[in-house]
Structure formats: structure tokens, C-alpha cells
Amino acid sequence: MTIRNTAEKIKRLEVQGARNVAIAAIEAVEALAEETKAKSKKELLRELSEAKAVLFASRETEPLMRNAVRWITSQVERSGKDKVEELTKVVSSVSQQFLKNLEDSKEKIAQIGAKRIKNDSVVLTHCHSSSVTHLLKEAKRDGKSFEVICTETRPFFQGRLTAKEMSELGVKTTLIVDSAARFFMNQVDLVIIGADAITSQGNVINKIGTSMIALVAHEARTPFYVVSELLKFDPATMYGDYERIEERSTKEIWEEPPKNLIIRNPAFDVTRRDFIHGIICEEGIISPHSIIEVIHRKYPWVFG
């Protein structure tokens, strides 16, 4: 039940942000193992496989969550233990270690990225990313004085979450409509956005509108940075698959539209690597062109 409840919350966007989605899925898998009625390793693995399918179906563009669940399942499969009680402990220990690694990565990313923010900088961001806001909070803790411009991010206005956090932090914050990004770009020193997925080509999938902002930043010669854990890399894109772009309900845009009106509501878009100044990750600030090399070095198990 925990798995299905978590999947529904992810579908309804009650859980937002790739990191938070991954954490919710990990905790749900851990709860499943604690509550399991499985009598054998085979039965537990079947339960984990079913849970994986349900969680994966909840959101198409969530490789961090998929990589986390894959890792936990693989560790149970490879474990030399056969008793369910022992395997439950394996799930718990592996889950806790993954969560700790995520938290460590978040801190490293914030420390690295905060150095790119100088006094009196103006930073533009799009949507809401806990990694981005943590980076900005780190810059504030370092004593930096800077401004933030947040897009409202239609249709769910996640940019308001960023604006609220920054305002409460005491940072001068301006909220703008998405289509005003070009109007303000010449006042901006750098753009910092999060990511939902990174492809084998180094392209980034993020909230719809991100690629438009990247194009505007490129035209204005404004550095455009992506803040992301490396485990948002999608290994399926190595083998020819495209990262799927989720299309959500049209009611999010217009509840009662005119008859016969076509409405499209893609949740994400693809930003080409050519427009990305650098990916701020736990290994430093890397070129999107080098993503496969860095993943091979840091997380070789992803390709298994």
C-alpha cells in the first residue's frame, strides 16, 4: 500500500523535485521490506520488482528515482543472504547509505556552486529545485550579497516556492512571468537551474521553459549552469532510447476550455548541451560533453 500511495503522490505532484521523488521512493521501498510477508528471497525479489514497476510508472522523467530503486534491488539480488529477515536489513542499510550519499552530494554541490556567485550578482532561476535553493543558501551563508529573479513557472507556479524561500532568507527577490525572461536577461549575471534528467549526449531535461531560457541566455551571452547530482543520468539513453517527456492533464492549463480546442501540456523540455556553460555536480563543474566519462568513473554500476 505504501508503494502505491507514494506513486500516487508522485503522479499528483504532491511530491515535487527529482531529489524529493527519489527520497520518497527509497523510503517506500524500505517500508515495503519492513512490512513484507515474503517467505523467501525469491518472493521478496518479486515484491521489489513489482514495486519498481509501480514507482517507475508514476513519473516518466525521473532517472534519479529509477537509479536509486535499481541500486537497492540489485544489492538484494547480489546479497549472499537468503533469509528474509537478513534481506530486510540489507534493504534498510543500502537505502540509508544511498540517502546519506545523496545528502553528501547535495552539500558538495552547494559548496562548489556557491563559489560561482559573486557579491552583487543577479541570478535567474526557473521552477523549483532543492539543489538550486540549497546552493543559494550556501552563498548567503558565505556572506555573499546577491539578487535572485524567479520565473513563476506555469502551470503550477513552482517558481513561487523558490521566491518564497529566497525572500524568507533575506535575499532580494523578484518574481516574473515566464515570458519576461528575455526582458530581464541583460540584467542577469548567471542562470542556475536544476535538472530532472541528463542524457548520454549531455543534454538536460528539466521543467518546460528551461530550453527557452537557455536560448535567451545564450543570445545574451549569460552563463547558464545546471545543478544536478550525477545520478540523474539516464543510462537508457546510451542504448538509443530517448528520455520520455511527460505530458500532463490539459486541465492544469484550462479546466473548461472551448469545445474542439487542442491543448498540449508537456511537463519538461530538452536543453542542448551547447547552451550549457557547465554542470555543477558532486565531482565539480564539468562540461556536459564529458558526462559519460565522469559517470563511468564515479558510478560504473549504473551501466550494469
C-alpha to C-alpha distance for 145 and 142, rounded to whole angstroms: 9
Tell me how far apart the alpha carbons of residues 263 and 212 are, in angstroms, rounded to a whole number. Answer: 19
Strands (E), 26-155: 121-125, 146-151
Give the active site residue among 82, 120, 150, 196: 196
22 membership: H or E segment, kind and range: helix 18-35
Q: What's phi and psi for 227, nearest 5 deg?
A: -105, 120
Q: Helices 18-35 and 130-141 sit at what angle, rounded to 10 degrees? A: 110
Which residues lie below 8 Å from residue 46, measured CB to CB, with a gap of 6+?
38
Strand-strand pairing, 197-198 and 204-207: antiparallel
82 is catalytic: no
Catalytic residue among 127, 150, 234, 281: 127
Task: Examine the residue annotation and report whether 120 is marked as an active-site residue of this protein.
Answer: no
Which residues participate in catalysis according to the annotation? Answer: 127, 196
